[in-house]
Amino acid sequence: MKKLLVVYGVVLGLFSLYIFNYARSEKTSSLKDETPLTGKLSEKFVMVTFQSGIEYWKSGLKGFEDGAQLFNVSVEYRGAARYDVHEQITVLEQVIAKKPAGIALSAIDPEALTPAINKAHEQGIPIVLFDSDAPSSKALTYIGTNNREAGSVAAQQMAELLDQNGETAVITQPRQYNQQERTKGFQKTILQKYPNMKVSAVLDGKGDELTSKKQALAILKKKPNMKGIFATEANGARGVAQAVKAAGLQGKVSVIGFDKDKKTLDGIKDGSIAATLGQDTWQMGYWSLHMLFLANHHSRSLPASIDTGVTIITKNNVDHYYAND
């Protein structure tokens, strides 16, 4: 994990240097075109998510607000209350109609959200994607986890837990792009690197604890030799952990989750979850605000993506994440 932290520290350091040089070159290129890196409170940037009441978004919103304070601009948070693509499209359309200075969006469904994302772009409203991308859209950039790589990291951690031998399964949300990528990274790494392991099933947990529990119970019954389950989001991990306990298989089936909400950390603490991959959601919000501000004040193109990284959280380091979340 220390190596990962060093790598991500270097990446973020280089990106900070990019921002510094970007701003300096903008200022010195022409006095006529010079725009100070400060805004005004009437300049409003909006963050749009789904399942707006969950704990997961709090850190990203704090990063967004901290970025706004740096540039002296204002922010607003909007989100679909449920895990519902049509509701998120409606919320995004309402935000676009108010013509904000920019929008940071986490897309529940990449294909379904693309027309509304493109509408914002065509109306001259800067829009960036964070956490969950819509790669075929006209959004300016994506800020968040490299989810394909994160899935690979999860597979390597699972292989370590299982001594590179045994059946595994994935509980995911198959229509959400970030989780599609995590699943692909997990499957590809198992297939290419661990010949004595296989992914026997990929199941839809619908981002719901109870549904994930039911899916996990079904696969544990169908596949009695199952040794590990990777849940690509936090609710899924908690549901899978409950299923393993209900089946009397604690200590025999390893559970790996995603994210670092308190319930997941509690699961690691009590041993029901072996590990989780923690994302840096504060960085997602913070750099989303930066990218929107720069798009609104400068003409240069933005980086295609910014990888905010992951860290592996286990019983050995879980206390550190309680202290910081």
Do 192 and 239 sit in the same domain of this protein?
yes
Tell me what pLDDT residue 299 has.
64
Tell me what pLDDT residue 38 has.
83
H or E element in which residue 231 lies:
strand 226-231
The domain that holds 179 is classified in CATH as: 3.40.50.2300
Let me know: does 171 contact 203? Beta carbons within 8 Å. yes
Residue 323 is assigned to a structural domain of this protein: no
Structural domain including 52 reads 2-140+281-308
Do 199 and 182 sit in the same domain of this protein?
yes
Do 42 and 113 sit in the same domain of this protein?
yes
DSSP string, 92-113: HHHHHHT--SEEEE--SSHHHH
Structurally, the chain folds into a number of domains equal to 2
Angle at which helices 2-29 and 281-297 cross, to 10°: 10
Residue 198 is assigned to a structural domain of this protein: yes
Tell me what pLDDT residue 136 has.
96
Do 275 and 286 sit in the same domain of this protein?
no
Let me know: does 265 contact 7? Beta carbons within 8 Å. no
The residues with which 166 forms a beta bridge, in sequence order, are: 197
Do 256 and 178 sit in the same domain of this protein?
yes
| CA–CA separation, 179 and 181 (whole Å) | 5
| Token pair recorded at residue 276 | 């989780």
Do 151 and 269 sit in the same domain of this protein?
yes
Residue 318 is assigned to a structural domain of this protein: no
The residues with which 35 forms a beta bridge, in sequence order, are: none
> Structure pTM?
0.84
Length of the chain: 325
Do 14 and 118 sit in the same domain of this protein?
yes
Tell me what pLDDT residue 325 has.
53
Do 163 and 128 sit in the same domain of this protein?
no
| Per-10-residue mean pLDDT, the chain, length 325 | 44 48 42 60 96 91 97 97 95 98 97 98 97 96 97 98 98 95 98 98 95 98 96 96 97 97 95 97 97 87 93 96 71
Do 294 and 168 sit in the same domain of this protein?
no
| CA atoms 83, 276, 132, 191: torsion sign | negative
| CA–CA separation, 291 and 229 (whole Å) | 36
Residue 73 is given by DSSP the state -
| CA–CA separation, 68 and 61 (whole Å) | 10
Q: Which residue has the tokens 């509701």?
A: 87
Which strands form 310-313's sheet, in the order they lie side by side? 197-204, 166-172, 226-231, 254-258, 275-279, 310-313
Residue 320 is assigned to a structural domain of this protein: no
Q: Which residue has the tokens 């605000």?
A: 289
Name the residue among 169, 170, 211, 201 with its Cα closest to residue 83: 211
SS3 31: coil
Let me know: does 262 contact 239? Beta carbons within 8 Å. no
Do 185 and 223 sit in the same domain of this protein?
yes
| CA–CA separation, 14 and 278 (whole Å) | 21
Do 7 and 135 sit in the same domain of this protein?
yes
